[in-house]
Structure 1
Amino acid sequence: MSYYRYHVFFCLNQREDGRACCANHGSPALREYAKERVKALGLAGQGGVRINTAGCLDRCEEGPVIVVYPEGTWYTYVDREDIDEIIDEHLVHGRIVDRLRI
């Protein structure tokens, strides 16, 4: 059994050469938003949901990206509404959000 019900990794990679990267799409701020929202919903912590930072997940052209384990579900997102949908559907109800899935 996994330590967390869901372990979510947000790519925060910033490329210095100007190529596509998740940080160019606001991933640091949206990761922080997700972390606070999960905490406010009482989902954070052991046995619940963990929001983590990741370096490059090597899907830059599809970014920004997050990956949710244990399923290994990959998502892209644009704004807080997309993050809310991933949290509400996947992390709360266990339903994959097909429209955001990579």
Structure 2
Amino acid sequence: MDSFFKHHVFFCLNQREPGASRPSCANCNAQEMQEYAKKRVKQLGLAGPGQVRINKAGCLDRCEEGPTIVVYPEGVWYTYIDKTDIDEIVESHLANGKIVERLLIDR
């Protein structure tokens, strides 16, 4: 069975209440990074059916591992710090099929 998208990318944008016992991806610029990834995918001509879809997600339950991205259908989990990390994920994994080992959550 073929997937509608080659890569379907979910960015956790969950926001917890102040003082919550677990961290929130939203406090790590997740919204900005999701919007940036969506823009980069479009700029590189990778967006659309049969290619890449960048989506927002609620809690992906990997909060303690940093801001979280999961790429399907592979089920590859990433964390990131900034736009440089997002660029590397987009250009290496999404454009060229090469997993970015240094940003993997499951090593």
Q: What residue is the counterpart of 1:4 in the other structure?
A: 5
Shift of 1:63: 1.7
Say what the alpha-carbon RMSD is for the aligned residues.
Answer: 0.7
- Structure 2 unaligned runs (5+)? none
The answer to whether residue 93 in structure 2 is matched with residue 80 in structure 1 is no
Distance 2:19 2:73 in 1: 32
Q: What residue is the counterpart of 1:34 in the other structure?
A: 37
Q: Structure 1 vs Structure 2: percent identity of aligned residues?
A: 67
What is the total number of aligned residue pairs between the two structures?
A: 102
After superposition, where does 1:19-98 map in structure 2 within 5 Å? 19=20, 20-98=23-101
- Structure 1 unaligned runs (5+)? none
Structure 1 residues 13-56: Cα deviation after superposition (integer angstroms, max 9, x where no partner): 00013331100100000000000010111100111100000000
After the TM superposition, list the runs of 4 or more consecutive aligned residues in structure 1 that deviate by more than 6 angstroms.
none
